[in-house]
Amino acid sequence: MTNDKILTASHLYKSFPSRRGDVFALEDVSFGVRPGEFLCIVGPSGCGKTTLLRLLSGLLPPDRGEVRFNGEKLTAPRAEIGLVFQNANLMPWRSVWENVRLPLEISGRADAPDAAGAVRRALKLVGLTEFSHSHPHELSGGMQQRVVIARTLVHQPQVLLLDEPFGALDALTRENLNLELTNLWRELGATVVMVTHNIREAVFLADRVLVLSPRPGRLTAAIPVDISRPRNISLLYDGAFNDVAFRVRQAIRE
C-alpha cells in the first residue's frame, strides 16, 4: 500500500468463537481507500462485510493484519472515522437535536462554544433543520436514517463508514436517499466506504466496488465504476451502468 491512501487494510483475518468451533469471517483482506473516494463493498450474506467495517472503524481488533488511518495504525475508534449502522437506534425520548448532540455529550464537548454550531451544521447537511425539535416517532424511516447520519457527521469525520444504511427502506425512498447521499458526499469532500447487498445501489454510488467471497470473506474483485458524475436516477436504465452492474454480479458468482 502507498501513503496516498487515507485508509488501508492489510492482510486482515478475523474469526469468532462458537459452540461448534471458530467461525472464520475474513481471510487475508487487503485494500486501500483514496481520500475523497466513494467505495462500496458487496458480497453474499454472511461474508464478513459488517465485520470488515467494524475493523475499519477500530471497534474490533483483527486477529491478524492491521488497519491504518492516515498512515497510523488504528487500535481504537477515532472521531475522524464515523460509522453508521443499518438500524436507526435513536433514543425515542430525545428530540432530533438531542440525538444529534449525543456524541458531543459523550466526548465531553457538549458545552464547547462550537457545539451548537456543529449540531446545526449537521442537521442542515441532511436537510432536517426544521425538524430539530421533533422526536423519532414523528419521522419517517428515511428521515430517521438521516438523523443517524447527522449524528455521525457532528464530529465532521474524514471517513464515513456506512453499513447498509438504507436496507430497511422501500425502493423509492432508497433511491431518493442515494441521491441525497451523493450530494452530501460531494459537499463534505469526505471519504465514504459503504456496505450494501444491492448491486445497482453500489454501482450508482461508487467510484469503485469491492467484491467479497462467501465466508470466510476474501477480496475477489475490485471493479472501477467509470461513469461520470453527477449521476441521476435515469442512469439506472443506462447501458453502460447495466454493463458495470453485470460485471459486479458475475464477480459475486465466481
Last residue in a domain, options 125, 156, 187: 156
pLDDT tens-place string over residues 44-93: 988 999 999 999 999 999 999 999 999 999 999 998 999 998 777 899 99
Closest to 246 in 3D by CA, of 213, 205, 214, 200: 200
* Strand residues in the chain grouped as ranges (E): 7-16, 23-33, 38-42, 64-69, 72-73, 81-84, 159-163, 191-195, 208-212, 219-224
Give the number of other Cβ atoms within 10 Å of residue 228's Cβ.
Answer: 7
Q: How confident is the model at residue 237 (pLDDT cuts 50, 70, 90)?
A: confident
Question: In 27-95, which residue ranges form alpha helices assigned H by DSSP?
Answer: 49-57
Q: How confident is the model at residue 112 (pLDDT cuts 50, 70, 90)?
A: confident
Give the number of other Cβ atoms within 10 Å of residue 110's Cβ.
Answer: 15
Q: Phi first, then psi: give them for residue 79, nearest 5 degrees.
A: -65, -25
**Are 176 and 193 a contacting pair, CB within 8 Å?**
no
Do 217 and 241 fall into the same domain? yes
Do 187 and 72 fall into the same domain? yes
**Are 63 and 171 a contacting pair, CB within 8 Å?**
no
Q: Which DSSP helix (H) or strand (E) runs through 178?
A: helix 171-188
Do 62 and 172 fall into the same domain? yes
pLDDT for residue 106 = 86
Do 54 and 16 fall into the same domain? yes
Do 119 and 215 fall into the same domain? no
CA distance 81 to 228: 27
Check pLDDT > 50 for residue 1: no
Do 169 and 247 fall into the same domain? yes
Strand partners, 29: 12
Do 162 and 227 fall into the same domain? yes
Do 122 and 101 fall into the same domain? yes
Give the CATH number of the domain where residue 9 resides.
Answer: 3.40.50.300
- The single residue listed with the C-alpha cell 471519504 is 191
Do 74 and 193 fall into the same domain? yes
**Torsion (CA) 59, 61, 67, 72 in degrees, nearest 10:** 80
| Mean pLDDT within 234-250 | 92
pLDDT for residue 3 = 59
Do 36 and 132 fall into the same domain? no
Number of structural domains, the chain? 2
Amino acid at 243: D
| Mean pLDDT within 92-96 | 96
Do 141 and 214 fall into the same domain? no
CA 171 and chain centroid, separation: 19
Q: What is the extent of the structural domain holding 243? A: 1-80+157-197+205-254
Do 10 and 68 fall into the same domain? yes
Check pLDDT > 60 for residue 2: no
